[in-house]
């Protein structure tokens, strides 16, 4: 399952976004909250309309909302631990004036971006420091942990240089020694720039700069107005359409968030279809038919024989599985077949 943690300064719109994504409003005053979000996908909607299944299941991501980080939280904040297992961070950056003042008194997205990343760096430093202290204070000169010392010191030096763990080259052996340590600065980030409604569609200078940073790191960036999307989400479906058109928004940013998170982590979607269930599944890009089988159930991977594969495009264009087969466009593939985004997969197996 894909897991994401939301980070950002206080009052940047994190919880507003979290609620939009998950339909869940966390109780106030809690340092973190967790809920599932559907990954909206118009292909699932079309397949569902075609098969009229009893159940339609979208891709899902698990999202954790966090209290705001401010300068000085990184080293001490235990609540950061709740997003330590997350595969990716959704980093919300405030660019709206709003009714409540920015905690630092002014709107400065680049400054805020740097503060949050610095806090994450400090949290990583604290992690390494704790581990180093524990090993060093252990009375035995040899024993479990001692072999970790050189690599931990290497990490510390790197972090003290203000560099993220993602940029530290490590040998396989060193990586092994670090197992069990999860670093925030090793996680990819989806930057969500929370704009004023009036600024939607504009590209201020700082945004260019943020985009460049994000590109260089291989991250993703998108802009939206959480406030406006919250208001839109409370309208009827028809009214929503009109509104989005008026604002020149092709698709709600919240739909993009979930999809961009997929892209950030190199995931594609494949589908299973039938009268019982139409369902989207996530798979690492480059994953094989047997990986896809294993995503559905370990039994399917174990007893994998072959898979029937057709593409979503062909199915929609030709209107039925039978028509796709008739045209010779359905494939019967072996376990090494590389699954493509949008493949409709039926696993033949025997256990």
Q: Which residues bind Mg ion (CB under 5 A)?
A: 14-15
Give 92 or 278: the residue with its C-beta nearer to Mg ion: 92
Q: Tokens 């989207």 sit at which residue?
A: 280
Closest CA to 124 of 74, 177, 167, 83: 74
Give least dist CB 225 to ligand GTP, A: 4
Q: Could you tell which of ligand GTP, Mg ion, none binds residue 10, using a CB distance below 5 to 8 A set by kind?
A: ligand GTP
SS3 content of the chain, % helix, strand, coil (to 5): 45, 25, 35
Q: Could you tell which of Mg ion, ligand GTP, none binds residue 272, using a CB distance below 5 to 8 A set by kind?
A: none
Structure tokens at 217: 């790191």
Q: Could you tell which of Mg ion, ligand GTP, none binds residue 342, using a CB distance below 5 to 8 A set by kind?
A: none
Residue nearest to Mg ion (CB): 15
Give least dist CB 20 to ligand GTP, A: 9
Structure tokens at 293: 């089988």
Give least dist CB 258 to ligand GTP, A: 18
Give 253 or 287: the residue with its C-beta nearer to ligand GTP: 253
Closest CA to 190 of 317, 98, 90: 90
- List C-alpha distances in Å: 161 to 158, 338, 351: 5, 41, 54
Q: Tokens 């060093």 sit at which residue?
A: 136
Give 27 or 328: the residue with its C-beta nearer to Mg ion: 27
Give least dist CB 227 to ligand GTP, A: 3
Give 15 or 194: the residue with its C-beta nearer to Mg ion: 15
Give least dist CB 305 to ligand GTP, A: 49
Give least dist CB 53 to ligand GTP, A: 35
Q: Could you tell which of Mg ion, ligand GTP, none binds residue 11, using a CB distance below 5 to 8 A set by kind?
A: ligand GTP
Give least dist CB 5 to ligand GTP, A: 13
Q: Could you tell which of Mg ion, ligand GTP, none binds residue 59, using a CB distance below 5 to 8 A set by kind?
A: none
Give 13 or 294: the residue with its C-beta nearer to Mg ion: 13
Give the helix/strand (H/E) hosting 63.
strand 59-66
The residues, any chain, with a CB within 8 Å of residue 253's CB and separated by 6 or more, are 192, 222, 223, 224, 225, 226, 229
| DSSP string for residues in 295-334 | HH-HHHHHTEEEEEEEEHHHHHHHSSHHHHHHTT--EEE-
CB 4 within 8 A of CB 88: yes
By CB under 6 A, name the binding residues for ligand GTP.
8, 10-16, 67-68, 96, 98, 100, 194, 225-227
Closest CA to 183 of 157, 170, 169, 164: 164
Q: Could you tell which of Mg ion, ligand GTP, none binds residue 74, using a CB distance below 5 to 8 A set by kind?
A: none
Q: Could you tell which of Mg ion, ligand GTP, none binds residue 13, using a CB distance below 5 to 8 A set by kind?
A: ligand GTP
């Amino acid at each position: 399952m894909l897991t994401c943690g939301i980070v950002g300064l206080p009052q940047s719109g994190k919880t507003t976004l979290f609620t939009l994504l998950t339909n869940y409003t966390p109780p106030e005053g809690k340092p973190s909250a967790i809920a599932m979000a559907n990954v909206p996908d118009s292909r699932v909607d079309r397949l569902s309309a075609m098969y009229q299944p009893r159940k339609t299941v979208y891709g899902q991501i698990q999202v954790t909302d966090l209290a705001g980080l401010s300068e000085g939280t990184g080293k001490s904040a235990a609540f950061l631990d709740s997003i330590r297992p997350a595969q990716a961070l959704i980093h919300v950056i405030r660019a709206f004036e709003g009714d409540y003042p920015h905690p630092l008194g002014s709107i400065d997205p680049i400054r805020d971006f740097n503060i949050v990343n610095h806090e994450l760096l400090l949290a990583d430093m604290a992690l390494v420091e704790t581990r180093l202290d524990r090993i060093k204070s252990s009375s035995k000169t040899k024993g479990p942990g001692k072999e970790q010392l050189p690599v931990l010191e290497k990490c510390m030096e790197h972090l003290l240089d203000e560099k993220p763990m993602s940029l530290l080259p490590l040998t396989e052996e060193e990586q092994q020694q670090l197992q069990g340590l999860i670093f925030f600065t090793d996680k990819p980030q989806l930057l969500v720039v929370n704009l004023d409604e009036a600024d939607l569609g504009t590209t201020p200078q700082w945004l260019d700069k943020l985009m460049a940073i994000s590109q260089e790191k291989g991250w993703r960036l998108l802009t939206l107005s959480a406030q406006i999307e919250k208001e839109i989400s409370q309208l009827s479906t028809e009214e929503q359409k009109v509104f989005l058109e008026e604002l020149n928004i092709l698709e709600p940013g919240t739909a993009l968030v979930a999809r961009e998170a997929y892209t950030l982590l190199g995931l594609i979607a494949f589908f299973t279809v039938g009268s019982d269930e139409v369902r989207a599944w996530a798979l690492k890009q480059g994953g094989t038919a047997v990986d896809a089988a294993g995503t559905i159930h370990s039994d399917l991977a174990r007893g994998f024989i072959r898979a029937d594969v057709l593409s979503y495009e062909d199915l929609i264009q030709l209107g039925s599985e039978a028509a796709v087969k008739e045209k010779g466009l359905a494939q019967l593939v072996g376990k090494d077949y590389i699954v493509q985004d949008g493949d409709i997969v039926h696993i033949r197996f025997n256990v």
